[in-house]
Structure 1
Amino acid sequence: MTINRRHFSAAVASLGLPLSWNAHAADVFPSKPLKIICPFAPGGGSDFIARVAATILGEHTGQACVVDNRPGAGGTLGSELALRSAADGYTLLLVAGSYTVNPSLYKIRFDPVNDMTPVIQLSKGAYVLCVNARLPVNSLQELIAYAKSNPDKLTYASAGNGSHLHISTAYMFGMAGAKATHIPYKGTGPAVTDLLAGNVDMLVAGTEALMQHVKSGKLRALAVTTDKRLAAYPDIPTIAEAGVPGYDVVAWHGLIAPRGVAPEIIRKLNDALNAGLSSREIVAKLEPTGVSPAGGTPAQFGELIKAEIPRYAKVVKDNGIHSD
């Protein structure tokens, strides 16, 4: 008699013996709606990417996918909630660069490498440094000179203490030998609102959150954070070429799952997302914002996370950055 995998699984289960993973669950996955926990407030760049991913999963799995925003503590609250969820592939976590910064700033109650399963890198791009148009500077060099001649008078916003935007800006000022006062917000959206109102002087954030206001004349774009200019905005110099040699920060987002999700489920999620990220519609949606689809294997994304954690630990230490 031939015993297929389903019969084998049932036989083992009847004996009370554990399976390394639920083969039947992987076969029928997904059979109910999916959820992406976004540990940041609505309206920012991370929320935008989370909703792009949710759209792709909805279209390529046949199941609805919702975004659940859970901001707080630099993203650690939502991250812990997601990573403590059932390891069945139905709850995913949207992560950004701050995920690799948080271990150096917070007493997190999870292991950022060993308590998760990488799914895919969704995007890669640059942040843009913008100032309120009323600030009397027209270039990064002028901004640095202004900061040096007015110690701690210049203010910069971020998406929160310890956020990737906070670290990226402090890193820039540290390399430039200048100082500015950090004003944290609960997400990029509120930070942009106060920048437009003139309550803060500058913000480093995603192009999708800022460039519409640059075009309207309310903000002035001084530089981008990557070591190469953006094809979508070729007239904006890099921070490295505009006054801080050697500076290079990449903005990225990806999806991870709790530890222990079955490999076949991860493969299905990865295949669906890779297919969506390569579609003309998604490319057309992302590229005007200065963000490019990434894609790739779960292992490749896992290696990126592992490499970024020690890198930002050094930035935090060298610049005396604290979460409070």
Structure 2
Amino acid sequence: MTCDARRRRPTWLRVATVAACCIAFVLTVGVRGAHAASGDDYPSRAVNIVVPYAPGGAGDLTTRVFAQKLTQLVGQPVIVLNRPGAGFANSATMVAHARPDGYTIFLGGNGAAISSVLFRSLPYRMSDFTQVSTVAFFSLALVVDGHAPYRNVADLIADAKAHPGKLNIGTVSTGSTQNLVAELFRSKAGVDLQVVPFESSGEVMAALRGNSVQVVLEVIPSVLGQISSGAVRALAVTSASRFAGLPQVPTLAESGLAGFDATSWSGLSVPAKTDAAIVNRLAAQTATALADPDVKRKMQMLGADARASTPAQMSRLVDADTAKWQRVIEQAGIPRR
């Protein structure tokens, strides 16, 4: 080693020492921050809810109703970030890779459960998340044109059995909740209906008006206005209980398909390593917000049922939905992508 090198050595040692101290400081601050975040002061700054839908849809609007109330309760901004694209992948991946501190939340639900079995490869896994609470449940409606001869589900099933393969049921794209519920209905009712997928709800309803399809299965928010106006007739809803906004419409279970219960729903998930104290506090805050009568009323007007759960209940619901829709996908012969 030369004399110059020996003279330079202390400089490099000093740099290394300073760097090590900086790293230690950052790690210490991070640990302290994580410890503080797990305490009763959560949230102490703005919280982001990452939504896999474009602005203006039912999933987005109901989340904004909830977020507004949660902001009032916790005294910190609760911000809705719309990150649509690639199904649920864009938003789910963003949250899965976020810091597990409770400040980046994923609006998941049954759609994420369906994606986990429909797609062979995703940039995230359901195990990347800890479930917090359900937020909103969206029943689907089995609807026909306002001038159709069917007055109830029994009429429709009788006609389908009398003319196997002749009636079409329209839904949005293959693998969507609507599409899978249609497959489930066909199986439970024991009828030979042709399930016809379209690109959008607008196309589905246009096909119904044009009689290209004779019946449609769609989430209530998308058809509530047309049901109210009489343009379409709701024969039944797919949830276990009647939707409060359409109390006169029976369930499919009441209409002869015992045990039928299928809904679309949304819920909050956080990165898997989030502290349990944060998860439980967020779940409790969510339950308080969703119990508010004004929140319930606003969500009902949007076609949704505001309903919170515990983290354990939501976790069981995710598991049950994953298993249910996997069976439907396999029985319907829908190829994995």
For residues 267-306 of structure 1, the aligned pairs below 5 Å read 267-288=280-301, 291-306=304-319
Highest Rg: 1 or 2?
2
Q: CA deviation at 1:100?
A: 1.9
Relative distance call for 1:14 and 1:72 in structure 2 (3 A) is closer
How does the TM-score come out when normalised to structure 2?
0.78
Correspondence 1:219 to 2:232:
yes
- Asked if the contact 1:88–1:262 (Cα under 8 Å) also holds between the matched residues in 2, the reply is yes
Stretches of 4+ aligned residues off by more than 6 angstroms: none
| Aligned pairs (5 A) from 1:1-324 | 14=25, 19=31, 22-27=34-39, 29-61=42-74, 62-73=76-87, 75-109=88-122, 112-124=125-137, 126-148=139-161, 149=163, 151=165, 153-158=167-172, 160-177=173-190, 178-185=192-199, 190=202, 194=206, 198=210, 201-288=214-301, 291-322=304-335
Q: CA deviation at 1:261?
A: 1.9
Question: Does the CA contact (< 8 Å) of 1:157 and 1:202 recur in 2?
Answer: no
Supply the distance in 1 between the matched residues of 2:266 and 2:120 (Cα, whole angstroms): 22
In 2, Cα distance between equivalents of 1:231 and 1:15: 52
Change (3 A) 1:283 1:145: same
Aligned-residue sequence identity (percent) comes to 25
Say what the alpha-carbon RMSD is for the aligned residues: 3.2
Displacement, 1:242? 2.3
Deviations 1:150-205 (A, max 9, x none): 626514122x332222111111012223222321435x5x4566467647544323
Contact between 2:66 and 2:295, CA under 8 Å: does it hold in 1? no
Q: How many correspondences in the alignment?
A: 311
Given that residues 154 and 180 in structure 1 are in contact (C-alpha distance below 8 angstroms), is that contact kept between their aligned partners in structure 2? yes
Unpaired stretches in structure 1, ≥5 consecutive residues? 1-11
Distance 2:247 2:65 in 1: 25
Cα distance in 1 for partners of 2:186, 2:313 equals 31
Alignment partners' CA distance in 2, 1:301 and 1:220: 33
Counterpart of 1:7?
Answer: none
The one-letter code of the counterpart of 2:79 is C
Instruction: Work out the CA distance in 2 between the residues paired with 1:233 and 1:144.
Output: 22
Q: Could you tell me how far 1:280 is from its partner in structure 2?
A: 1.7
CA displacement at 1:289 relative to structure 2:
5.2
| C-alpha contact (below 8 Å) 1:36/1:92 kept by paired residues | yes
